[in-house]
Amino acid sequence: MSEAKARPTRRFDSVKVGDTLPPLSVPLSRTLIVATAIASRDYQDVHHDPTLAKERGSPDIFMNILTTNGFVGRFVTDWTGPEATLRKVDIRLGAPNYPGDEMTIEGSVTARDESNRTVEVSLRGRNRLGDHVTGKVVVALPA
């Protein structure tokens, strides 16, 4: 049972180096930080318990790394459409994502490889404190 007609997937030949992706803004509610940690089976206290997070020297709970990967993947596949295939997510981690902040991911196409119809997206996710994440994603697109 299809819910709705799926969006078409971007074709490899239609993508150029320099194309920019639609930004993804993520309001960082406390519920989001906790729900994503638990959905990724990460029960480390710094991702759900503010008291213990403070004892460990952090001002509040913060987003876990599996979730950062999840948002980076979503940022790219929201743009490609559903028949793309993620091949690589390579990120560098920076300022933590605390509740009450907002992260905005922006990026553009920085390389394309005809031999395997993959494109490389370079991206940056910023919050009020600076760069939460920078990195590159490689995704294969249909011909």
Partner 1 sequence: MSTNEGKTAALEGEALMKVLESYAGTQDGAPGSCPYPVNDAMIHHWCDAIGDRNPAYLDRGFAESSSHGGIIAPPTMLQAWTMRGLRPPTPEEEAWAKEAGDRKSVLQVLDAAGFTSVVATNCEQEYFRELHPGDQLTHVVEIESVSPEKKTGLGVGHFVTQLYKFMDAEGAVVGTMRFRILKFRPPRAAD
Under the criterion CB under 8 A, does residue 103 sit at the interface with partner 1?
A: no
Which residue in the set 42, 49, 60, 106 belongs to the binding site for partner 1 (CB under 8 A)? 42
Which residue in the set 15, 46, 53, 89 belongs to the binding site for partner 1 (CB under 8 A)? 89
SS3 (DSSP) at 40:
coil
Q: What does the DSSP assignment read for 57-98? A: T-SS----HHHHHHHHHHHHHHHH-TT-EEEEEEEEE-S---
Under the criterion CB under 8 A, does residue 118 sit at the interface with partner 1?
A: no
Q: CB–CB of 118/89 below 8 Å?
A: no
Under the criterion CB under 8 A, does residue 1 sit at the interface with partner 1?
A: yes
Which residue in the set 11, 30, 40, 104 belongs to the binding site for partner 1 (CB under 8 A)? 40
Positions touching partner 1 (CB under 8 A) are 1-3, 6, 26, 32, 35-36, 38-43, 65-74, 77-78, 82-83, 85-93, 142
